[in-house]
Chain A
């Protein structure tokens, strides 16, 4: 009868290159393990394939045409309407709401405050090592430090001897430890920075993806019938030192094929690195006996093109940039409650090749949207689901433009429950 806690994990620029989405190459055992106890949406889409507009959209439950944020330069409460956010709604319902890492996009679009104090009970946490992300910390073949796109690092070598996502995981675990004995339920949002560029990750993860195993995208050329307006010229990649040195022609490139494979290798390595962080966080949830009373929602803000259509990065309407991973673990609904110290999320080392293939959890095929997160999380937590928005809804503080996805959580338990125990 106690209200369920919520752990909301959002991973920056993560496309569904995960084992639980059928990817045969990428090693993501901890996210796959979460999926095995969750309802996984196979066809979930962002409303705009770029950070701030997507995040403001799903955190307010409004589409970009209502938030009127298509770039990075306005704060919806000033520019469009005083729309409530998911954390704000939970906070008003008595939850302790906390933000770690990149949940709102930093800067103007979240009022330079991650929308605190509206959304958060305590000041949002940002890892101190984030400030080194885009400076010269990548050791090149010349032994010098560069601001590269491809940036596998020796963590002992980097400033502060740590990386932002490691710090975020540590902070989130500390908050979980504090909340374990708290009288009030919590809504903890953890935003991981990788695999957003630069691909700056512990270099050992490269070993999981030997270059000889890395192929090009299945369709690495600009399609003949693609309207020029639809094409995104991936200008952010071109500004990185190692890419700039290739003198790639604008706007269509192409990137030399060996470098294309290196980009793909580093993206996959970054995904496995984030998987280890998610694994540490979830195993802490287990160890603190919180898994039986905490909803875990896992998603990303948009996808990323890895050379498909001759494109890289996000900034388009293609499926590879708008389709996202989306799954919900709901104790007692998508999985039976852990019995007597049973562990649902023991940490799995992606380097451990013996870790067995994960069984799949429940899956939903229908197309769904990130704008549905607000009503769905509210409903799953037993809170009143915000009403549908009128059109237009600029004057309405609390309403939703997305569907409540709870109808996907009605399972025929008799048949399924027995399989769960197995």
Chain B
């Protein structure tokens, strides 16, 4: 059932704002990791703190979030993360 399928992606960042090495940060400079979970209905991403020495993401420290609903916003232009989750911690079932 296509509705049950899920795809995960991730992307590293060196800082909260765009800078010269935001596209391709070296491991030692990675401070944030964006984890995305995709279903047929929505795209949900949390940008969380990341420790490059321990290779550990801290899902309690959410820097930012994105939530797009595929049917109403296929081009992913209207981030409703803050509206719909009140900016709180991601629900456990959404974590990879």
- B36-A317 in contact (CB<8A): yes
Would you mind naming 11 contact pairs between A and B with Cβ atoms under 8 Å apart?
A63-B8, A223-B78, A229-B13, A229-B63, A250-B18, A317-B10, A317-B66, A364-B2, A366-B5, A367-B2, A367-B39
Chain A, Cβ-Cβ closest to B11: A317
- B79-A227 in contact (CB<8A): yes
Q: Which chain B residues lie closer than 8 Å to A319 at the CB level?
A: 38, 43, 76
Q: Does A15 contact B (CB under 8 A)?
A: no
Query: Contact flags (1/0) for A224-247 with B, using CB distance below 8 Å?
Result: 011111111111100000000000
Query: Contact flags (1/0) for A353-367 with B, using CB distance below 8 Å?
Result: 000000000001111
Shortest Cβ distance from residue B62 to the other chain A in the assembled complex, whole angstroms: 10
Give the B interface residue count (CB, 8 A): 50
A315/B43 contact (C-beta < 8 A), A70-B27, A74-B27 known: no
A71/B65 contact (C-beta < 8 A), A47-B8, A229-B16 known: no
Q: Does A265 contact B (CB under 8 A)?
A: no
- A227-B12 in contact (CB<8A): no
Q: Does A342 contact B (CB under 8 A)?
A: no
Give the A interface residue count (CB, 8 A): 50
Q: Which chain A residues lie closer than 8 Å to B55 at the CB level?
A: 65, 68
- The count of A-to-B residue pairs whose CB atoms sit within 8 angstroms is 146
- B8-A369 in contact (CB<8A): yes
A367/B10 contact (C-beta < 8 A), A226-B79, A235-B23, A315-B24 known: no
- B23-A236 in contact (CB<8A): yes
Q: Which chain B residues lie closer than 8 Å to A406 at the CB level?
A: none
Q: Which chain A residues lie closer than 8 Å to B90 at the CB level?
A: none
Q: Which chain A residues lie closer than 8 Å to B80 at the CB level?
A: 225
The complex places the Cα of A385 from the Cα of B65 at a distance, in Å, of 36
Q: Does A125 contact B (CB under 8 A)?
A: no
The complex places the Cα of A45 from the Cα of B37 at a distance, in Å, of 11
Chain B, Cβ-Cβ closest to A50: B24
Q: Does A159 contact B (CB under 8 A)?
A: no
**Among the listed A47, A229, A231, A251, which residue makes an inter-chain contact with B10, where contact means beta carbons less than 8 Å apart?**
A47
**Quick one: which of A300-340 are within 8 Å of B by CB?**
308-309, 313, 315-319, 322
The complex places the Cα of A88 from the Cα of B22 at a distance, in Å, of 34
- A43-B7 in contact (CB<8A): yes
The complex places the Cα of A232 from the Cα of B19 at a distance, in Å, of 9
Footprint of B on A, CB under 8 Å?
43-50, 63-65, 68, 70-74, 218-219, 223, 225-236, 250-252, 308-309, 313, 315-319, 322, 364-369
- A230-B64 in contact (CB<8A): yes
The complex places the Cα of A44 from the Cα of B38 at a distance, in Å, of 10
Main secondary structure of the interface of A (DSSP, over half): loop
Name which of B22, B45, B81 has the most chain A CB atoms within 10 A of its CB: B22
Name which of B7, B26, B36 has the most chain A CB atoms within 10 A of its CB: B7
Shortest Cβ distance from residue A71 to the other chain B in the assembled complex, whole angstroms: 5
Chain A, Cβ-Cβ closest to B45: A317
The complex places the Cα of A254 from the Cα of B23 at a distance, in Å, of 17
The complex places the Cα of A137 from the Cα of B50 at a distance, in Å, of 41
Q: Which chain B residues lie closer than 8 Å to A308 at the CB level?
A: 75
- A230-B66 in contact (CB<8A): yes
Shortest Cβ distance from residue A41 to the other chain B in the assembled complex, whole angstroms: 10
The complex places the Cα of A365 from the Cα of B5 at a distance, in Å, of 9
Name which of A218, A228, A232 has the most chain B CB atoms within 10 A of its CB: A228
- A48-B23 in contact (CB<8A): no
Name which of B21, B26, B45, B77 has the most chain A CB atoms within 10 A of its CB: B77
Chain A, Cβ-Cβ closest to B57: A65
A227/B47 contact (C-beta < 8 A), A47-B8, A366-B40, A367-B39 known: yes
